[in-house]
Structure 1
C-alpha cells in the first residue's frame, strides 16, 4: 500500500538520496532543492513535502502546494527513485493525490505540470484525466488541470 509520510528529521537523509535515471535529471529538480524551496515558503504554510512509501519502503518524493484561496491543489514535484520506476508507483501516487483533492471540498482543481520533453509524464497525466491548460514559457512546462 502506498503512503505519504511527511518529510522530517528521521527520513530527510533518505529522501535527499533518492535519484531519477540520468536521462530524466533534466525533468525534475533534486529533492534537496525542493526541500530548500519548502523552507523559503514555510511562512505561507501551504507547501507540503512527502516521502512516498510502498509497504514501508521509500520509493519517491512528492511536493504538494495547497492554495485554499484559489481553490487549487498542485503537484509541484513528483519523483520516483530510479530503482523503483516501472512498478506503477508514479501512477498510484497521482491517483492518491486525485482522491485527496476529490475528498477535500475546498479544492476545485488539481494542477500538475511537466517539463517539455518528459513525454512519459504527459501521457500518464492525460491517461489519468488531466487536460491541457497552458504552456509556461518561463519554466518550459506544460500545465494540466484535473477538475475536482
Structure 2
C-alpha cells in the first residue's frame, strides 16, 4: 500500500467511479455491490446509514456502509454500530487497503458517543471474508443474523 487511505463521502462527482467498483471474481455472493448498497441506504434511513468510498490517494479502491448509531431495539439491525457492507475492488485486493479501510471505520466508530463495539456479519463458505475479520481482531459471537455469522470487535 503506497497511498494513504481515507474514507470520503460519495458525491455526484465520485459516484460513477464508486459505482464501478467490483469485488474479485467468485466473491459476488459474499457482499452486495455498491449500487444495491446505496439503494438499501436510501431505503432505510432509520438505520442511520453512513456510506463512504475508500480512497487510496485519489483512486477509489473500495466502499463501506456503516449503520451509524442505530436506535436501541431496532428489529432490522440490533446493534448500534454495524458494518453493513465493505468491499475492496478486486484490482486492489491484497494490498492492505481492506485493513486500512477497516481501521478507518473502527477509528470513526470509536469517536462516536457510547460506542462499545463494532459488529459485522459474513456469509459463510469458501472464499468468505471471515478470516480477514478474525485477523483484524473480530471474534465470532456464535449468533446468526439473516443467515450470516455475526462477528464482534470490542472497542
**What is the TM-score when the length of structure 2 is the normalising length?**
0.85
Within a 5 Å distance, the mapping from 1:1-148 to structure 2 comes to 1-42=4-45, 44=46, 46-67=48-69, 69-70=71-72, 72-117=80-125, 119=127, 121-136=129-144, 139-148=146-155
Question: Separation in 2 of the partners of 1:106 and 1:129?
Answer: 20
Q: Is the 8 A contact 2:30 2:128 kept in 1?
A: no
**Number of residue-to-residue matches in the alignment:** 146
Deviation for aligned residue 1:101: 2.0
Q: Which moved more, 1:28-37 or 1:67-76?
A: 67-76
Moved over 3 A (4+): 68-71
Q: RMSD across aligned C-alpha pairs, in angstroms?
A: 1.8
Q: Which runs of 5+ in 1 are unaligned?
A: none
Q: For 1:27 and 1:39, how far apart are their aligned partners in 2?
A: 21
Aligned to 2:18, the other structure's residue is in SS state helix
Unaligned runs of 5+ in 2: 73-78
3-state SS of paired residue (1:8): coil
